[in-house]
Structure 1
Amino acid sequence: MNCCQTSPSHSWVFPTVILCCFGFFSMMKPSEPFVVPYLAGPDKNISLSTITKEVFPIWTYSYLALLLPVFIVTDYVRYKPVIILQGISFVVTWLLLVFGQGLRAMQVLEFFYGMVSATEVAYYAYIYSVVSPEHYQKVSGYCRSVTLVAYTVASVLAQLLVSLGSLSYFHLNVISLASVCVALLFSLFLPMPEKSMFFHVQPGKGAPPKPPGKDAFSKEPQKDRKPVCKGLVTFSGNLGDDDPLNDPKPGNVTLRVFVQWFQDLKGCYSSKHLFYWSLWWAFSTAGFNQVLNYVQILWDYKAPSQSSAIYNGAVEALATFGGALAAFTAGCVKVNWNLLGELALAIFSAADAGSLLLMHYTTNIWGCYAGFLIFKSSYMLLITIAAFQIAVNLSVERYALIFGINTFVALVIQTVMTIAVVDNQGLGLPVSIQFLIYGSYFSVIAGIFLMRSIYIIYSAKCRQGRCNSTTDQNPHDPEDSISDTNTVTQF
């Protein structure tokens, strides 16, 4: 009887299908690999220098300005309105790409694309409010996979249409506009969640609520690691029953949420393991976004699209596939990440640095393409590992909070980098020299984590030596020696 009374919109299947359809069509944009050739070509006739220094930086600045307000509002309005806002921003962006003319129109376009990026948090957070916890992993996999598939299909389609069908970049943007319009239509059919992670918690429905101080961790933390936020007590967990903040007035709820966020962040970042992985995540994501933002300009600089056959779509598709393969590999490799994790960060950051330096020094576009493939695959491998290392002992709420703050820090770093290296207010460097800076930037990251990894491995060996020495001196106390040995890899 209960099954018959449950409408499709309240099951996990219906919202998942609608959300996946939205994700597919919002990423099915074959014009994206050819944005720079389109802007620099006869359709828009904007110089590469202007695109680099006056158009693309607007995306970074607007993304930074909008991220925190959108992050807060997203939970407060329960996700769906923000997903609709993302769909509208997509449509406005491509309307301007198709019909807009002049520098100002392109700058407004970048502002709306910054809105698209800032509102992306709603796409991944929505599902946690409409499905039960046992479906989280499966549904998250569907949502992420469908965007990956859509981007790959769009890139391959774009390359085929340009190379074999001789389709103009303008018509690629028309196809993209139609796709994002379909995505906006799907967003309207999403069920409105009755709860959210922070502002609209409904403990009376479903499973009994956990004490706030205890749900900061997953139910089954990694066996070889201590809880990341051990001892974390949230603000609401410290309140007495007669405290006026327990009164569920909107103002008090908002205050409680903000204080809870602050205490959760303080408790989580007190873990050195989480802090250093988050640090790498923020600095590397800033560099990755910067490279992704300007790589098409570098390609057009190395092989001008007006006089050369370009293969941006094929390269983007291969890079996405390589990143997916690297992410899949990361989930299968069994490594003691506590001991060797930061060594891996150093090695692959060095690979990123080498690939960027190759892109700077080579005069061959194919060498430039190869460097990008190595760079994106290495980053996707490590970001998958970093995401797991940060989130493994966090609940969904703390996961969203930590990654929101990490993204904000990454954007602050990227903004500083944009102002200093790209913008006319700073050095205003040519794109080729910019990639020399980005390669050097990843070299510094690699050096820092190499030193950290050497220290960690040396400390572990010294601790192991002390444990062995203790075992030799106390042969009749095996339990203590085993306990000490097991702590060697727990940092």
Structure 2
Amino acid sequence: MSVFFPTVLLCVYGFFTSLRPCEPFLTPYLMGPDKNLTETQVVNEIFPVWTYSYLFLLFPIFLATDFLCYKPVLMLQASSLVVTYVMLWRAQGMLAMQLLEFFFGLATASEVAYYSYIYSVVEPEHYQRVTAYCRSVTLFGSAAGSLTGQVLVSVAEVDTVYLVIITLASASVSFLVPCFLPMPKRSLFFHRHEGAEEARLRSSSSSSSRTATRMEKAEDSESRVPLNRPDISRASRSSEAGSGSRGLVAVLRMLFDDFVQCYRCRTLLAWSLWWALATCGYFQIINYSQPLWEHIRPSEKNVIYNGYVETLSTLLGALAALLVGCLPVTWALWGELALCVLSLLMAVCVFVMNTEDIWLSYSFYVLFRTTYMLLITVATYQVAASLNMQRYALVFGVNTFVALLLQSLLTLVVVDSSVLGLKVFTQFLIYGAYFAVISVIFLFAGLYKLASRRHSEQKALPGRRAQSETDSPPIGGTDSRT
């Protein structure tokens, strides 16, 4: 029951926070008669506020989530969503919509509380199952919301403002759910009970050590870092704080030490680099695909099918994530080259999306999202396989922060009206070139890794031969004189 009750509540919370029927029609709604905003205002002045807000709020929310033990931040996320959709329904003007984007950035940054809460109330042996439940129900809620919105618009011919009201009702339900969640008594960094925590870490480490060992065998000796074991230095620092509670300075010192140790591992660094670079581009495509489609097929004159496209891409992305375990790829050896090929595919998808044919644009958007979901699942597994829970939380946060930093720079230069303020078609040409550059980076990384491995094998071969000759007995097996 201690696992069942919070898991059910978290699944309910994840479903209703993701059930957003208005989301596939946000750009047409803002540019339509309800808000009467121009394309330049929406694309170049309103949407960038979300990117900047997410970036600047991510690290403070990350620390506050752990210090406040998750539940208050879940309530903050739910209340931010309620404020967002109240403003989307009732507020008018560009400044109000920019403030709305700030609150949505606050809600997005607070998602860390949802995915980390469960690790504070269940034991490590339940992590995989509970995480699968929460992520699956979130994807299902997103798909159900997109499908509901499209059916209401296409079949029932419901005005978009009613989709906003339904989304607000869903967010209001999610606001009530955290009130019934139990308050955790421990967290990953600030509040830890050392005796129980070390046992939890060993249990969590043992489940991933076999996978980590397989990965380490494929790596050079200098890249092997014991990232899945508790640190002795960490335990000593935590004991200094007394009764398992730490101050901010001690936590920041621990995070920095773990950061240095984690990113010394070349495999983790490579996958984290792709994670940050690709997620930056993915966010841009997701954010500005609707303005692109609105430009190709204006909603004022045509029926649009954004909801069906979002539903299909979400479901296929979830299916691709599930099928990752069936792919016969030795990621430790061929990972960089696989990232090269599939990043090139994503670049092609972005280039083809930038067309006058809406169906072609829809189709390659689905392929783009499916490819990203597959690769980000592999990257998440490759990173998590050799990390304990504390270090995984750190690496996840750092990768997301770097992605948002890159996205903010890209948005500032390409999208923001204060700098270039490019039209959406030109933006997508740049985004396609961005993914092509990622592909080239990992092409060189993959070739370098293969060349280094081959050189190491050739260098080790004479030593093995000499050792075998030394250890082997004479041909006759005995001395001929005896």
Same fold? TM cut 0.5: yes
Structure 1 position 84 matched with structure 2 position 78:
no
Q: 2 CA distance for matches of 1:207 and 1:193?
A: 17
Match of 2:397 in 1: 404
Decide which of 383, 388, 395 is 1:395's aligned counterpart. 388
User: How is 1:153-232 mapped onto 2 (pairs within 5 angstroms)?
Assistant: 153-205=144-196, 208=199, 218-226=208-216, 229-230=225-226
Pairing partner for 2:133 from 110, 128, 142: 142
Equivalent residue for 2:304?
A: 310
For 1:124-143, what aligned pairs fall within 5 Å after superposition?
A: 124-143=115-134
Counterpart residue identity of residue 368, structure 2: F
Aligned residues of 2:276 and 2:402 also touching (Cα < 8 A):
yes
Question: What CA deviation, in whole Å up to 9, does each residue of 1:40-88 have, x standing for no partner?
Answer: 1111111111100110000001111111100000000000000000000
Deviation of residue 476 (structure 1)? 3.9
- 1:100-145 per-residue CA deviation (whole Å, 9 max, x = no partner) reads 1111111111000000110000000000001111111100000000
Cα RMSD for the two superposed structures: 2.3
Residue pair 2:12, 2:177 contacting (<8 A) in 1 also: yes
Please list, as runs of the form range in 1=range in 2, the aligned pairs for 1:76-475 lying within 5 A after superposition.
76-205=67-196, 208=199, 218-226=208-216, 229-230=225-226, 233=231, 235-237=233-235, 245-247=240-242, 253-360=247-354, 362-475=355-468
**Alpha-carbon shift at residue 292 of structure 1 (Å):** 0.6
Residue 210 of structure 1: how far off its partner (Å): 5.6
Q: SS at the partner of 2:418?
A: coil
Q: Give CA deviations for 1:169-196 in whole Å, capped at 9, x if unaligned.
A: 1111111110110011112111111111
Partner secondary structure for residue 324 of structure 1? helix
Identity %: 44
The AA in structure 2 aligned to 1:113 is: F
Q: Which runs of 5+ in 1 are unaligned?
A: 1-7, 480-491
SS at match of 1:74: helix
Q: What's the CA shift for 1:208? A: 4.2
C-alpha spacing 1:322/1:249, structure 2 compared with 1 (3 Å): closer
Q: Given residue 357 of structure 1, which amino acid in structure 2 is its aligned partner?
A: F
Letter of the structure 2 residue corresponding to residue 462 of structure 1: H
Cα distance in 2 for partners of 1:210, 1:144 equals: 23
* Equivalent residue number for residue 44 of structure 2: 53
Specify the SS of the correspondent of 2:190.
coil
3-state SS of paired residue (2:212): coil
| 2: CA distance, partners of 1:370 / 1:353 | 14
Q: Secondary structure at the match of 1:222?
A: helix
| CA distance in 2: counterparts of 1:131 and 1:172, whole angstroms | 36
AA matched with 1:265 = F
1:247 positional shift: 4.2
Distance 1:379 1:182 in 2: 31
Secondary structure class of the residue paired with 1:304: coil
Distance 2:287 2:332 in 1: 33
8 Å CA contact retained: 2:16, 2:173: yes
Q: Distance in 2 between matches of 1:392 and 1:370?
A: 33
SS in 2 for 1:224: helix
C-alpha distance in 1 between matches for 2:23 and 2:291: 13
Structure 2 length-normalised TM:
0.91
Relative to structure 1, the CA distance from residue 268 to residue 409 in structure 2 (aligned partners, 3 Å threshold; closer, same or farther) is same
2: CA distance, partners of 1:392 / 1:206: 20
> What is the alpha-carbon distance in structure 1 between the residues aligned to residue 263 and residue 465 of structure 2?
38
- Name the structure with the higher helix share: 2
- Offset, 1:456: 1.2
**Equivalent pair of 1:228/1:393 in contact (CA under 8 Å):** no
In the other structure, the counterpart of 2:219 is none
**Inter-CA distance 286–207: structure 2 relative to 1 (3 Å threshold):** closer
For 1:478 and 1:141, locate their aligned partners in 2 and report how far apart those are by CA, in whole Å.
Answer: 51
User: Retained in 2: the 8 A contact 1:216–1:393?
Assistant: no
Structure 2: distance between partners of 1:90 and 1:182: 11
Question: For 1:262-296, what per-residue CA distance to the aligned partner results, in whole angstroms no more than 9, with x for missing partners?
Answer: 10110000111111111111111111011111110
Compute the TM-score of the two structures, normalised by the length of structure 1: 0.90
Shift of 1:248: 5.3
Post-superposition shift, 1:467?
4.2
Residues 67 and 190 of structure 2 are in contact (CA less than 8 Å); yes or no, is this contact kept in structure 1? yes
What CA deviation, in whole Å up to 9, does each residue of 1:142-184 have, x standing for no partner?
0000000111111111111111111111111111110110011
User: What's the CA shift for 1:234?
Assistant: 5.8
Partner of 1:485: none
Please say if residues 218 and 393 of structure 1, whose CA atoms lie closer than 8 Å, have aligned partners that are also in contact.
yes
Please report how far the alpha carbon of residue 469 of structure 1 lies from its aligned counterpart in structure 2 after TM superposition. Answer: 4.5
- Code of the residue aligned with 2:213 in structure 1: it is K
- Mapped to 2, the partners of 1:81 and 1:401 lie a distance apart of 20
1:10-25 matched pairs, under 5 angstroms? 11-25=2-16
Superposition deviation, residue 475 in structure 1: 3.5
Report the CA distance shift for 1:264/1:306 in structure 2 as closer, same or farther (over 3 A). same
Contact between 2:78 and 2:175, CA under 8 Å: does it hold in 1? yes
Contact 1:26 1:87 in 2 (8 A): yes
Query: Taking structure 1 as reference, are residues 184 and 130 closer, same or farther at Cα in structure 2, changes over 3 Å only?
Result: same
Kindly indicate whether the alpha-carbon contact (under 8 Å) linking 1:25 and 1:180 is maintained by their aligned counterparts in 2.
Answer: yes
* Change beyond 3 A, Cα 1:208–1:449: closer
Gaps of 5+ in 2: 217-222, 473-482
Preserved CA contact (<8 Å) 1:234 1:264: no
